[in-house]
Amino acid sequence: MPTAIYPGTFDPITFGHIDIARRASKIFTRVIAVIAENPKKNPTFSVKERVAMAQESLKNFKNISVMPYKGLIANCIQECKASAIIRGLRAISDFEYEFQMAFTNRKMSARAETVFLMPNEKYTYLNSTMVKEIARLGGDVSNFVPEYVERKMRKKLKASGA
């Protein structure tokens, strides 16, 4: 049973993330969305909040689960007994970074094969940073994130005074 991990910060999860997870779920028997603890990215949402948003957003996919992870993805793939790391490529600008990460992960873990998936073209420009900025400026993000995530974003922004 091939398992893949789909790591990311998911701060917050977007329709682009969901599209990549959906595509991966058609290829792999099991997909684990790994919510990375990466304080260097200064996330808006806590790991617990990001896990909850991802679980709600991915609940209709029976072969996708969600878990938090603190540490190296090369270790995560071993612990999850996964055979692949899923990464989304939106544009050429993503490629160099993702290429470096794929080789680094492979060097650290022989099981770390990276599978690159392209999202639907309507999500190629979409990223969490952009969505948060639109929301902070009072824009409509309903085309970018599920309703549940949008509500959580509005509540978080209101609480922070943004």
Instruction: Name the residue ranges covered by the structural domains of the chain.
Output: 3-160
Q: Which residues are catalytic?
A: 17, 41, 90, 128
pLDDT of 6 strictly over 80: yes
DSSP letters, 46-103, are: -HHHHHHHHHHHHTT-TTEEEEEE-S-HHHHHHHTT-SEEEEE--SHHHHHHHHHHHH
* Cα 126 to Cα 94: distance, rounded to the nearest angstrom: 12
What average pLDDT score do residues 149-161 get? 86
pTM of the model: 0.92
- Picking from 35, 83, 91, 27, the residue whose alpha carbon sits closest to that of residue 58 is 35
pLDDT of 112 strictly over 90: no
pLDDT digits (tens, 9 = 90+) for 52-96: 999 999 999 999 999 999 999 999 999 999 999 999 998 777 788
Q: In whole numbers, what is the pLDDT of the chain averaged over residues?
A: 92
pLDDT of 159 strictly over 80: no
* CA angle 145–149–154, rounded 5-degree value: 105
User: 3-160 belongs to which CATH class?
Assistant: alpha beta
* Cα 131 to Cα 143: distance, rounded to the nearest angstrom: 10
Q: Among the listed ranges 28-32, 87-91, 100-104, which one has the minimum average pLDDT value?
A: 87-91
